[in-house]
Chain A
């Protein structure tokens, strides 16, 4: 199709689809008028049954915990897929940028930048841990906290130097945390089977509602998800960073 023909065809098609969507949306109950019995029941029961204050976390990690298990593996597959796609190919080399001028030493970052990085990274570290571990109490949890934790690494990069950090090769550690977090979710699920009930049953002591340690496996699952997501997002960003900074196409 020429671009013009495609545009005309698309205009007709999208108009028809808009009508169809409109018909469907018009059948919805009016906005804000209705609450399903399922939702009402869970809102009522979850705090008492699961000793949580954030009902969303009870649904994500307990009532519908298997959804979140597969969600974590979607993330794991995306990270693995990106690592496959962005791996250095046979016509590419990994070269650290300073190779161009081997005798040049990298200037250390100025004290102000360094101080800021230390401050920011510790702040982010605390926020991330707090977000991960309080998932059952307040909005936030393993996923959100995990992304925050992953960002710590990049603040460290900012404060020091990408190349310096790269020398430590944190990749193996990040990969391990990605894989460990994901398998941790499955292993915690197996506790339920070992206790003679179902996979992913919440069989750990639930604690007192509102306490820092409460919610049983809901909290544990938040922690392992935090570990997985932190590793996964850090790998993700580092794969893209590698592409821009150290991976080059060999000259033929």
Chain B
């Protein structure tokens, strides 16, 4: 179980980066980056998970509910979701403009900053 759970984190992070490196389209590239980013949220929530734990919402619970899962990691993941959305949207705005100015979306055709 641990291997699967943590393996998915490494897998998504690395395959997201693979997508970034091999992408031929900037919109595709940005979405791949967001896949890598979701790996970090998954890691945080998995670290905060407690087997059999209930959600950290203390309402309508049975008499002996047992422990709740880690609310701290959920709060951090919440922040990270917002950060990820902000960065993705900003990147897409850049992509829209670069297409206007460079006439292409292929990252390997963008040569304005070549040395």
Contacts and interface: CB of A to CB of B under 8 A. Distances in A.
**A contacts B: CB pair < 8 Å:** yes
Interface of A: 3, 6-7, 10, 14, 17-18, 21-22, 25-26, 28, 30-36, 38-40, 42-43, 46-47, 53-56, 58-60, 64, 67-68, 71, 74-75, 77-78, 81-82, 85-86, 137-139, 143, 210, 236, 239-240, 243, 249
Interface of B: 1-2, 5-7, 9-10, 13-14, 17-18, 21-22, 46-53, 55-59, 67-76, 78-79, 82-83, 86-87, 89-90, 92-94, 96-97, 100, 108
Contact of A82 (B58, B71, B90): B90
A85 B87 contact: no
Given A60-B78, A78-B89, A21 B14 contact: yes
A3 B69 CA distance: 45
Contact of A54 (B57, B87, B93, B94): B57
Contacts of A39: 48, 69-73
Given A43-B71, A236-B89, A55 B22 contact: no
Main SS of the interface on chain A?
A: helix
B20 to A, nearest CB: 10
B38 to A, nearest CB: 15
Contact of A43 (B2, B67, B75): B67
Given A64-B75, A71-B82, A143-B78, A32 B50 contact: yes
Contact of A59 (B7, B75, B89): B75
B69 to A, nearest CB: 7
A34 to B, nearest CB: 7
A86 B72 contact: no
Contacts of A22: 10
B1, B2, B17, B83 pick with most chain A CB within 10 angstroms: B2
Nearest to B59: A53
A86 B82 contact: no
19 contacts: A10-B18, A10-B22, A14-B18, A22-B10, A25-B7, A31-B2, A31-B6, A35-B70, A43-B56, A43-B71, A47-B58, A55-B58, A55-B68, A75-B86, A85-B93, A85-B97, A86-B93, A138-B59, A143-B82
B84 to A, nearest CB: 10
B2 A28 contact: yes
A47 B57 CA distance: 9
A35 B50 contact: yes
B2 A30 contact: yes
B60 to A, nearest CB: 9
B97 A86 contact: yes
A86 B96 contact: yes
8 residue pairs, one from A and one from B, having the closest CB atoms: A32-B51, A78-B86, A39-B70, A55-B56, A59-B75, A55-B71, A25-B6, A53-B59
